[in-house]
Structure 1
């Protein structure tokens, strides 16, 4: 109902809706164009969103989604079960390979990072959950980025998850060996297939 509307909240939500886009980062001018808001209004709203980590401002002044939207999405039970299933595999891949391991979800020609385990290295692919991109190839969600490469392998389809899922290893092109990465990913995919998501899964937030 009209009397239940809070204009400032609706404006903040309008800003967040802009980030449901293949473009990851936006300048203040781009946000003004997308929302129709004055820059002064945007700065006030973005300040509040930034304080609660719904958006983050990079050094060049461009804005991207913060960690709060992803954190809240994880509260949804299927996502928690998915994380409990995948997380150990990602952490093992990252530790054993020294590269960034991630879970990708694909919708059409767009991919999104759902979960990630970062390599313990100063020189690494700093991929973050919630990052979206347009896939360069129709049969692979691999992200093309300067100085690096990504190797991907599909997971078996599951009725519990409504989008195709892929495991990926990514890192500096001069260090990541494609054949080795593919072998590690194939082993992880096979291991996950032996304990499918649709089988009994421990919910890390369930009460014993």
Structure 2
């Protein structure tokens, strides 16, 4: 309803919508062109958004999204549902292989460990949720592991969903060739089979 509109809020949301693009950082002029707002108006809106970490200003004066949108997105119900489905499979993988099993998410040149199950072995890849590392390829979230190895297998996701991988990691040469891949494929099959059944159920 028209009387429920708050103009300042709608302007701020318009600014945030401008960041929904492949370009990661914007100059003030680029944001003005994308939103149609005067630069003086934009600076006031960006100042408020920056205080709540919805946007961040880099040293070169360009603006990019802050951490608050990502933090809120991770609290969304589908993320909790995914965790409830994936964590038991990670525990199974860690117990079956004796290696570290994890759910990885990669975007914008960075990978992050979202969930993990550690094996009982003292000699292991000590990965923790929240661990992050840079990536050079969007389809390869593996970090550099001196003396170690990580095998990854992508999960099926929608076009607008984050990219997730199941992974196993540990010391190089401890597992027979192909063993990790087979274990990951079996885990992915267990994860995606119930989802496929639900999607085809009338």
TM-score, normalised to structure 1, is: 0.57
Partner SS for 2:122: coil
Quickly say closer, same or farther: Cα 1:114–1:178, change in 2 above 3 A.
Answer: farther
Residue of structure 1 equivalent to 2:93: 93
CA distance in structure 2 between the aligned counterparts of 1:198 and 1:158, rounded to whole angstroms? 16
Show structure 1 runs of 5+ residues with no match.
1-9, 19-32, 34-69, 201-208
Change (3 A) 1:136 1:75: closer
> How many residues are paired up?
143
**Cα distance in 2 for residues equivalent to 1:88 and 1:109:** 28
Structure ID, larger Rg: 2
Higher RCO by CA contacts (8 Å cutoff, separation 6 or greater) = 1
Counterpart in the other structure of 2:165? 166
Residue 84 of structure 1 corresponds to which residue in structure 2?
84
Q: By how many angstroms is 1:176 displaced? A: 3.6
Deviations 1:122-150 (A, max 9, x none): 11101011111122444311121121110
For the aligned residues, what is the CA RMSD? Answer: 3.5
Alignment of 1:114-193 (within 5 A): 114-158=114-158, 162-193=161-192
1:97-118 CA deviation, whole Å, 9 max, x = no partner?
0000000111133211111111
Contact preservation (8 Å) 2:100, 2:169:
yes
Tell me by how many angstroms 1:85 deviates.
1.1
| Superposed structure 1 runs of 4+ greater than 3 Å apart | 72-76, 197-200
Q: TM-score, normalised by structure 2?
A: 0.58
Asked if the contact 2:99/2:169 (under 8 Å) is kept, the reply is: yes
Query: Which one has a larger percent helix, Structure 1 or Structure 2?
Result: 2
1:35-114 equivalences under 5 Å are 75-114=75-114
Gaps of 5+ in 2: 1-50, 60-70
